[in-house]
Amino acid sequence: MNDTRIGLLGLGAYVPEKVMTNAEWSRLVDTSDEWIVARTGIHRRRFAAEDENTADLAVHAARAALDDAGLEPEALDEIIVATDTPEVYSPDTASFVQHRLGARQIPTYDLGGSGCAGFLQAVDVARSRAREADRHILVIGVEVLSRLMNLTDRSTCVLFGDGAGAVIVGPGDHAAEILASVTGTDGSRTDILGIEAGGTRTPFSAENSPDGRMDVTMHGQTVFKQAVRHMSAASLKALERAGLSRDDVDLVVPHQANLRIINAVGKALRVPLEKVFVNVQEYGNTGSASVPLALAQAHEQGRIQDGDVVLLTSFGAGFHWGSVVVRF
């Protein structure tokens, strides 16, 4: 392994134009703006247009990240796409992205099934792969949840939105250096959060997937507690690995699941809430896209300055979790 500084060379994001408000949801299912805002902090989310699919969103975010890094697609050595809502069942979304971007015939793969934690797991993998051979790796988090989720289940449908975020991980003195990363999995909790239909245990049927849509199984309160516990523990471990303390953190960019979880993570970390980036009110929970979308927006809004220490953290089905410390 060499000592080259590996970091984020560029950031990009994309959200579809269509806005879906809480008021619109309240006309479709038995819910209200008050309930959704009080329990989640979400006011609106974006839904992909009918002719927009996962690879479209991913390519928009990828192009923005390449532009930000000042790189052409030919410079890429690898592509990883984190998503639970792929373009097609097989092959992977990353193959579509490679072709559409005009990248070389480089290795590409999807990291699927990790729910909202997929992007940071992918960054963790990309960091070691980049360090091994000075590779430039495009890492994308993308979801089109609106296309597949059960639109009649009020306990889940109001939570989610569509979007994409991307980073280029690679070597460079001007990179926002990845100082440390921690990921983990508790595979004993697979029944708490997930999608059953479509696998070999429960293939799709007219009963479990009407209109090709799928039920999300979610024990909300357990997910809430586990999310706070694992995001805060992984974050403290990542800071320790980086030789830093919570006082060194300039901005936390947590998974945007809901405002109460975000605030609880800030509190558990004892980081003031003004140092915690929040955009869940605008986009809802965009799964794997949530952290890279929030990171790109925080940067664009001037919330991150040179030298700042930024803590990224996420949690999702599996359970999986991850925290990454970056110095810009």
Q: Give residues in contact with ligand ACO (CB under 6 A).
A: 31, 35-36, 39-40, 116, 154-155, 158-159, 193, 218, 220-221, 223-224, 227, 257-258, 261, 285, 315-316
- Minimum CB separation of residue 111 from ligand ACO in Å reads 16
Known catalytic membership, residue 53: no
> Does 258 qualify as catalytic in the annotation?
no
Q: Which is nearer to ligand ACO, 114 or 181 (CB)?
A: 114
- What single DSSP character describes residue 23? H
CB count, 10 Å around CB of 161?
Answer: 30
CA angle 188-87-296, nearest 5°?
80
176-185 and 320-327 beta bridge pairing:
antiparallel
Considering the complex, state which of residue 106 and residue 218 has its C-beta at the smaller distance from ligand ACO.
Answer: 218
Environment class of 222 (CB within 10 Å of its CB; exposed 0-12, middle 13-18, buried 19+): middle
Q: 115: left (phi > 0), else alpha (psi -120 to 50), else beta? A: left
Please indicate whether residue 208 is annotated as part of the active site.
no
Cβ neighbours of residue 43 under 8 Å, at least 6 residues apart? Answer: 21, 22, 33, 36, 37, 281, 282
SS (H, E, C) 186-222: CHHHCCCEECCCCCCCCCCCCCCCHHHCECCEECHHH
CB of 271 to ligand ACO, least distance (A): 19
- Is residue 176 within 8 Å of residue 7, measured between CB atoms? yes
Distance separating alpha carbons of residues 120 and 82, to the nearest angstrom: 9
93-101 and 54-69 helices cross at what angle (nearest 10)?
50
Q: Compute the distance between CA of residue 34 and CA of residue 40 in angstroms, rounded to an integer.
A: 10
- Please list the active-site residues: 116, 255, 285
